[in-house]
Amino acid sequence: MDLYEHQGKELFERFGIPVSDGRVAESPEEARAAAEALGGPVVVKAQVLTGGRGKAGGVKFAADPREAEGHAQDILGLDIRGHVVRRLWIERASDIAKEYYVSVTFDRGEKRPLFMLTTHGGVDIEEVAASTPEALARLHIDPLVGFEPYQARWLCFEAGINDPGEQKQVIAIVERLYRAFVESDAMLCEINPLIVTPEGEVRALDSKFTVDDNALFRHPDVAEMRDSAAGDPQETLAREKGVTYVKLDGEVGILGNGAGLVMSTLDVIAQVGGRPANFCDLGGGGDAEGVVDALEVITSDGQVRSILFNVFGGITRCDEVARGILVALERMGIELPIVVRLDGTNADEGRGLLEEAAPENLRVEATMLSAAERAVELAA
Ligand code: GDP
Ligand code: MN
């Protein structure tokens, strides 16, 4: 789960990482009031779950509340790479002497968290890594040993931060960022830019904070930060219904039992020249309730042109799944073409049931490949 900048900063603050004072606003009037409350010049910042807002016109300086209101008017409703701005963060403006970068994320190859620190902040880190890799200090943390203070010092020296006052603050921030990362079950904590003010104060001016979805049960306060309106509508519906679903960009809706089988189904659809519309795992069950929920999510996607059921009966029996499909279709009345492939335990009974009682638009295929071909054909 990605957090908005202002939410990430709220977490930073809890862990003692210095941030600027600010307020959320959802209308030009609220932006004006926020600027008045903060006093002095402010920055009006689009809150969207994507980076590069500055370049897209989503970050604007305002000298007074009236100007803040005007910028808010311009930025609200702006489309930043497919994300429509509905919320703003009005922050007390900072004077910037230098822009640094610091992050901690997972290096899956190394199976350890990785810190990156550089004095070349304010630009995309990929750019720094490509053009001046020597300016990027990288350090892995052994999760069993944990973070050691000398590691923050090493990062500072390696990045070339030589000012003792800055060092002291950056070291504290690195240490707190690691705590924020571990204690929030984060996947990424990034500060870009980490600024140094003309007075030598170091502060987080931006925040990118991603928390592991699977750990949200441990962080109800973070889970509550989710903004359903900003998410994909199909994925939001799926979450509400408890359906394991990932929205993709194609036309063939996919339903299978078991994550591995569904993944293979996506591959086979691609292999025969189609594009899957989603990943959807029915899990162990195949009862009508589960099928109805999954089909409701899949068919709520207007891009879907055909639906492929790929079921392997292991513990789940194919005849039960077939009954589930029949009851679900009777209840829902779907008009899209549906292709079903059943194999494994009681497959013959399952196929028999479908051939007997299924509606016109459902056809049974014997193999995964032929089912995929048929589903792609019908989606065209
Ligand atoms: P991003 O473009 O989505 O990464 O948004 P940021 O929050 O990083 O803002 C983009 C850039 O705007 C920063 O790198 C800064 O250079 C600039 N900026 C943001 N806030 C302030 C501020 O308070 N004062 C000044 N002078 N510049 C700011
Ligand atoms: Mn940034």
The model's pLDDT over 94-126, given as tens digits with 9 standing for 90+, comes to: 999 999 999 999 999 999 999 999 999 998 899
Q: Which atom of ligand 1 is nearest to the CA of 93?
A: 23
pLDDT at residue number 227: 77
What would the mean pLDDT of 237-253 be, rounded to a whole number?
A: 91
Strands 338-344 and 306-313 turn out to be: parallel
Kindly state the helix (H) or strand (E) to which residue 261 belongs, with its residue range: helix 259-271
Nearest residue (CA) to ligand 1, atom 12 = 54
CB atoms inside a 10 Å sphere around CB 96 = 15
pTM (two decimals): 0.77
Nearest residue (CA) to ligand 1, atom 10 = 54
The pLDDT tens digits of the residues spanning 310-363 come to: 999 888 889 989 998 999 999 998 999 999 999 999 999 999 999 999 899 999
* Residue 290 scores a pLDDT above 90: no
pLDDT at residue number 226: 87
pLDDT at residue number 210: 97
What would the mean pLDDT of 156-183 be, rounded to a whole number?
A: 97
What would the mean pLDDT of 272-279 be, rounded to a whole number?
A: 97
Q: Who's near 290: CB < 8 A, 6+ residues apart?
A: 243, 282, 283, 324
pLDDT at residue number 157: 97
Residue with tokens 């925040």: 207
What would the mean pLDDT of 294-313 be, rounded to a whole number?
A: 94
pLDDT at residue number 299: 93
Distance 181 CA to ligand 1 centre (A): 23
Instruction: For the chain, give the percent of residues with pLDDT over 90.
Output: 84
Nearest residue (CA) to ligand 1, atom 7 = 206
Nearest residue (CA) to ligand 1, atom 13 = 122
Distance 123 CA to ligand 2 centre (A): 8
Total count of residues recorded for the chain: 380
Pocket of ligand 1 (CB under 6 A): 43, 51-54, 59, 93-94, 96, 99, 122, 192-193, 205-206
Strands 362-365 and 338-344 turn out to be: parallel
* Residue 188 scores a pLDDT above 70: yes
CB atoms inside a 10 Å sphere around CB 227 = 16
* Residue 285 scores a pLDDT above 70: no
Residues marked active site are found at: 101, 190
Distance 195 CA to ligand 2 centre (A): 11
What would the mean pLDDT of 55-70 be, rounded to a whole number?
A: 97
Q: Which atom of ligand 1 is nearest to the CA of 54?
A: 2
Q: Who's near 70: CB < 8 A, 6+ residues apart?
A: 28, 62
